[in-house]
């Protein structure tokens, strides 16, 4: 039995679609505090000419500004792709309570793949992590995006 997607992940998937339309890798991120969305972002590396403008990084910065604090206690990051090592480290430093992601990223992920940031002894804060939420939708967006760039879409 399929369960409905939580609304923050639905919104993150919408942002990922917007990123793809902008020529960016289709990744979207939403940060919630309880049921309230406090920040949202899409990948913007090409548009901002900023290699650190991953959806998660932009959303974390916006949430900190919106809440007036550098610590995002009580907040959850919803993202359409497993965060890379940079974004996972930022989630830890921001003290996010939880990270929820859609598709795994065996090549560039930093949570359950690659660096496994939250499993490192040097990681001072480990958010609760759950993946696979909206995985099929996110994976299809990514396949379509990269297929079009490789002439298979």
C-alpha closest to that of 11 among 62, 78, 83, 105: 78
Q: Is 80 exceeded by the pLDDT of residue 153?
A: no
- Residue 2 confidence class, pLDDT cut points 50, 70, 90: low
d(CA 60, CA 105): 20
What is the model's pTM? 0.95
Residue 1: what pLDDT?
47
Phi, psi of 49 (to 5 degrees): 55, 45
Q: Clarify whether 82 is annotated catalytic.
A: no
pLDDT in tens, 105-134: 999 999 999 999 999 999 999 999 999 999
pLDDT in tens, 68-92: 999 999 999 999 999 999 999 999 9
- What mean pLDDT comes out for the span 5-32? 97
Residue 151: what pLDDT?
76
- Residue 31 confidence class, pLDDT cut points 50, 70, 90: very high
d(CA 147, CA 136): 16
Q: Which residue among 24, 40, 56, 137 is the active-site one? A: 56
pLDDT in tens, 15-26: 999 999 999 999
Does residue 54 have a known ligand-binding role? yes
d(CA 99, CA 93): 13
- What mean pLDDT comes out for the span 52-64? 98
């Amino acid at each position: 039995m399929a369960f409905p997607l939580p609304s923050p992940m639905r919104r993150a998937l919408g942002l990922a679609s917007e990123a793809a339309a902008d020529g960016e890798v289709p990744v979207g991120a939403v940060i919630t505090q309880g049921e309230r969305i406090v920040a949202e972002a899409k990948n913007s590396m090409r548009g901002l000419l900023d290699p650190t403008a991953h959806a998660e990084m932009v959303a974390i910065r916006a949430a900190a500004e919106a809440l007036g604090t550098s610590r995002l206690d009580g907040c959850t990051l919803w993202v359409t792709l497993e965060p890379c090592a940079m974004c996972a480290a930022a989630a830890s430093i921001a003290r996010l309570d939880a990270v929820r992601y859609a598709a795994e990223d065996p090549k560039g992920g930093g949570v359950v793949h690659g660096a496994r940031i939250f499993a490192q002894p040097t990681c001072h804060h480990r958010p609760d992590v759950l993946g696979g939420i909206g995985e099929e939708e996110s994976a299809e967006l990514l396949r379509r995006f990269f297929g079009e760039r490789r002439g298979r879409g």
